[in-house]
A and B are shown apart, each in its own frame.
Chain A
Amino acid sequence: SQKIEQNSEALNIQEGKTATLTCNYTNYSPAYLQWYRQDPGRGPVFLLLIRENEKEKRKERLKVTFDTTLKQSLFHITASQPADSATYLCAFRDNYGQNFVFGPGTRLSVLP
């Protein structure tokens, strides 16, 4: 069956450290993968997109990798700050069914 999973429901890290979030999928073959940030009660906000032919993408303190062999994307926030505390969602379009699929999210808490 098709699945999209994110490594943990919640992740607590200390301010200044690097947060690493994982997105794994099964029985999908996405051409790209997106990461969104969602704050409580608000709509998701787009952060980064990485395509299947790209290994790594960076934007300021954010870095995302995409390994189509492992069927996994890693999302890193370096020098994390309390303001980075939010839920982070991975997402992609299912090439076959054309559905947009979102992961369950990882709730990140950056502790001062």
Chain B
Amino acid sequence: DSGVTQTPKHLITATGQRVTLRCSPRSGDLSVYWYQQSLDQGLQFLIQYYNGEERAKGNILERFSAQQFPDLHSELNLSSLELGDSALYFCASSVGFQGGEEQFFGPGTRLTVL
């Protein structure tokens, strides 16, 4: 158990809908990262937050947004969902923000868009 929790575990929804994925980092970790993993794309970095501020942005679509709250939990919002958004979404956390730290990954949320 990494100490990172993600909810929900599974999500099934329809095209055009909007969903919110939730992540609670390990106790003491200030950085939260979001990744998307699909079969044909591998693990893709979406965005990083450190202590409530956006720190780095990867290949995150404009339809997607995220935030980190004062209690350090984070939410990833996916809107106008398309079939291609079906994937495993992982949240990870680390102590700092430089990037050399070990990232602890959560169990993931499996999103299926029908």
Contacts and interface: CB of A to CB of B under 8 A. Distances in A.
Interface of A: 31-32, 34, 41-46, 49, 51, 89, 91-93, 98-105
B90 interface: yes
Contacts, number: 59
B108 A102 contact: no
Interface of B: 2, 4, 33, 35, 42-45, 48, 55-59, 88, 90, 92, 99-100, 102-108
A interface secondary structure, majority: strand
12 contacts: A31-B100, A32-B99, A42-B108, A43-B105, A43-B107, A46-B104, A89-B43, A91-B43, A99-B45, A100-B45, A100-B99, A105-B43
Contact of A103 (B33, B42, B88): B42
A51 B105 contact: no
A102 B106 contact: no
Given A102-B45, A103-B42, A42 B100 contact: no
B56 A98 contact: yes
